[in-house]
Amino acid sequence: MTQRRGERALVRPHVVTGGRAHPTRNTFDLATVVVATRSPVAGLSPEKRRVLELCRGGALAVAEVAAYLRLPVSVTKVLLSDLADTGHITARAAVPQADRPDLQLLQKVLDGLRALI
């Protein structure tokens, strides 16, 4: 579904989701990270196949998937929810800011290790 700036989409978003406006699970936010599993793609829509193609290259956030697909985030969440329900993707929450390591501390440790060598 490649389109140029200013062009209208060939397939309307409600067609992509089968007319649904809400995902079956409400566990996806913009920073949720998704990864494709090794499930077969037979019978999947072109948009769902594209999601799996994107996510096989590595973990992507929901916002990134939506951007690559050029679809609204709400539509992307419905697609991701369907794929999670069928076991085609796994999802996990992004690492919260509080759980991230202190970069200054890590830099000091690295500098100290380099000084020993």
Q: What is the pTM of this model?
A: 0.65
Question: What pLDDT is recorded for position 72?
Answer: 87
Task: Please tell me the number of Cα atoms within 13 Å of 110 on its side-chain side.
Answer: 6
Residue with tokens 């929810």: 81
Q: Compute the average pLDDT of residues 31-41.
A: 88
Tokens of 67: 């951007």
Measure the CA–CA gap between 30 and 45, rounded to whole angstroms. 23
Q: Are strands 33-36 and 60-61 parallel, antiparallel or unpaired?
A: antiparallel
Helix (H, G, I), strand (E, B) or coil at 107: helix
* Domains of the chain and CATH, by start: 13-116 (1.10.10.10)
User: Quick check: 10 pLDDT over 80?
Assistant: no
For the chain, the average pLDDT equals: 80
Question: What pLDDT is recorded for position 98?
Answer: 63
pLDDT tens-digit readout, 47-96: 889 999 999 888 899 999 999 988 888 888 988 998 998 899 998 887 66
Measure the CA–CA gap between 58 and 78, rounded to whole angstroms. 20
User: Quick check: 19 pLDDT over 70?
Assistant: no
